[in-house]
Copies of this chain bind each other. A is one copy, B any other.
């Protein structure tokens, strides 16, 4: 069993209004040294696969088919093995 941690973010060239709104809120709370705030999605999946490579490939396909918008978003995937306790 593998855990897949997927970070999906809007491409750098595309305006992120939600990020801008959060940045303004942070600045009005006194966080003056924060900039370039961008908001994306974080998705965790448990995948029943034979290898980390297979789990990565399943995650990539899930991103391409459903989770990410391939035109506007980039994604990164981290696979870790979950040891099952018996």
Residues of A within 8 A of B (CB): 5, 7-9, 19, 22, 25-26, 29, 31, 33-49, 58, 61-62, 65-67
Contact = CB atoms under 8 A, between A and B. Distances in A.
B42 A39 contact: yes
Q: Describe A's contact surface by its main secondary structure.
A: strand
Contact of A29 (B9, B26, B49, B66): B66
Given A19-B43, A36-B46, 16 more contacts: A7-B42, A8-B42, A9-B42, A29-B65, A29-B66, A31-B61, A33-B48, A33-B49, A35-B48, A38-B43, A38-B44, A39-B42, A39-B43, A40-B43, A41-B42, A42-B42
A63 to B, nearest CB: 11
